[in-house]
């Protein structure tokens, strides 16, 4: 079966550009998470959706970051006016309903480089 997919896999943006990163979760997975992994660090939580509802966006680093999941499946993470410190790998993960201890299925990530 298909796993979590993310696109693009690599993105190079000039400082100040807007970017949109896409996540296709596993079909039927209710929960969806976005993480940011800077070089040399672990993934850091950005935001969490249950179906189309964004239940937690406490990890979004600034108001330039915006995530949506309008139909409860595909999600898009948008970064406006990118800055060099936004350079990172952006990971998406999904979980099926009834996951008691939070096992997550990850996509391969999008590596964003802001020049």
Partner 1 sequence: ILNVEQSPQSLHVQEGDSTNFTCSFPSSNFYALHWYRWETAKSPEALFVMTLNGDEKKKGRISATLNTKEGYSYLYIKGSQPEDSATYLCASGMLVFGAGTILRVKS
Q: Judged by CB under 8 A, which of 33, 34, 49, 65 binds partner 1?
A: 33
Task: Select from 12-20, 22-30, 33-41, 62-70 the region that touches partner 1 (CB under 8 A).
Answer: 33-41
- Binding partner 1 by CB under 8 A: which of 13, 44, 66, 72? 44
Contact yes or no for 64/80 (Cβ under 8 A)? yes
Q: Return the residue of 35, 49, 65, 90 that touches partner 1, per CB under 8 A.
A: 35
Per-residue binding string, partner 1, 84-103, x by CB under 8 A, is -------x---x-----xxx
Structure tokens belonging to residue 2: 């298909």
Contact present, 88 and 38 (Cβ < 8 Å): yes
Residue closer to partner 1 by CB (options 9, 81) is 9
Rounded least distance, CB 56 to partner 1, Å? 9
Query: Could you identify the residue written with the tokens 């996951």?
Result: 99
Nearest to 80 by CA among 57, 60, 53, 94: 60
Sheet holding 19-24, edge to edge: 5-7, 19-24, 75-79, 65-68
The contact set with partner 1 (CB under 8 A) reads: 3-4, 33, 35, 40-45, 48, 91, 95, 101-109
């Amino acid at each position: 079966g298909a796993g979590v997919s993310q696109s693009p896999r690599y993105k190079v943006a000039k400082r100040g550009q807007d970017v949109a990163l896409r996540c296709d979760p596993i079909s039927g997975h209710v929960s969806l998470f976005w993480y940011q992994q800077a070089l040399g660090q672990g993934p850091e939580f950005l935001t969490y959706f249950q179906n189309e509802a964004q239940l937690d966006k406490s990890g979004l680093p600034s108001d330039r970051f915006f995530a949506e999941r309008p139909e409860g499946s595909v999600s898009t993470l948008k970064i406006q006016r990118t800055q060099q410190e936004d350079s990172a790998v952006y990971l998406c993960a999904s979980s099926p309903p009834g996951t008691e201890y939070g096992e997550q299925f990850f996509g391969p990530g999008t590596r964003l480089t802001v020049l």
